Chain A
Amino acid sequence: RKEVEQDPGPFNVPEGATVAFNCTYSNSASQSFFWYRQDCRKEPKLLMSVYSSGNEDGRFTAQLNRASQYISLLIRDSKLSDSATYLCVVKFGGNQFYFGTGTSLTVIP
């Protein structure tokens, strides 16, 4: 079983739609949580960290449920430029960062 599991998608949504991604992790001792964005054939870039209280950055909202060991990312009012792969990342045990396989999003005009 992988440490971090994501639905690979693809998710194809129209512009303006709201879309949500979930990610589950296996290690209850996980310490830190992140969402990264990766465009095709590019390097991953940090989208946002995920805090226990939940956090919002513009159209993006991230939430953490430690009891159920899942993380979510909500994107409101989707833009064409949101098309990318979204990677869930969990840190536990020293400095090991575990990435999910990524969820592919395509926003359609």
Chain B
Amino acid sequence: GAGVSQSPRYKVAKRGQDVALRCDPISGHVSLFWYQQALGQGPEFLTYFQNEAQLDKSGLPSDRFFAERPEGSVSTLKIQRTQQEDSAVYLCASSLGGDDTQYFGPGTRLTVL
């Protein structure tokens, strides 16, 4: 079956622009996670949804970052007024439940100039 998909795969933004990154989880997966992976580092937790509820957003680095999953399936991560330090790969993962195996999407590589 289809895995987790993310779009766009690559995004170049000028500093100060807003961006929106999309994640389509595996159908039926309740849990959805967003991670930020900087070059040479492991993924860092940003936020977690259970269905449409955002249960944990403690990893979001600033109030410029906002995530939503209004219907409990597709999720969008929005970054306002992008800064150069936001350049990273943004990974989305979904799982059946919070304790189950996470399946990652291919990520969106964001470059802020």
> B29 → chain A, closest Cβ, in Å?
13
> A86 → chain B, closest Cβ, in Å?
10
- The yes or no answer to B65 lying at the interface (CB within 8 A) is no
Q: Contacting B42 at CB < 8 Å: which of A32, A42, A96, A99?
A: A99
- In the complex, which residues of chain A have a beta carbon less than 8 angstroms from the beta carbon of B56? 94-96
- Residue of A95, A96, A97, A100 with highest tally of chain B CB at under 10 A: A95
* Interface mask (B93-105 → A, CB under 8 Å = 1, otherwise 0): 0000011011011
B104 lies within 8 A of A96 (CB): no
Q: A94-B55, A94-B56, A95-B56 are in contact. Are A101 and B40 (CB under 8 A)?
A: yes
Interface of B is mostly: loop
Q: From B106, which residue of chain A is reached at the shortest CB distance?
A: A43
Q: From B45, which residue of chain A is reached at the shortest CB distance?
A: A96
- The yes or no answer to B8 lying at the interface (CB within 8 A) is no
Residues of A within 8 A of B (CB): 4, 6, 8, 32, 42-46, 49, 87, 91, 94-102
Interchain residue pairs with CB less than 8 A apart (10): A4-B42, A43-B104, A49-B101, A94-B55, A95-B55, A96-B48, A96-B58, A97-B45, A101-B42, A102-B42
* 12 more A-B residue pairs beyond the given contacts A94-B55, A95-B33, with a C-beta to C-beta distance below 8 A: A6-B42, A8-B40, A45-B104, A46-B101, A49-B101, A94-B48, A95-B50, A95-B56, A97-B33, A99-B42, A99-B45, A101-B40
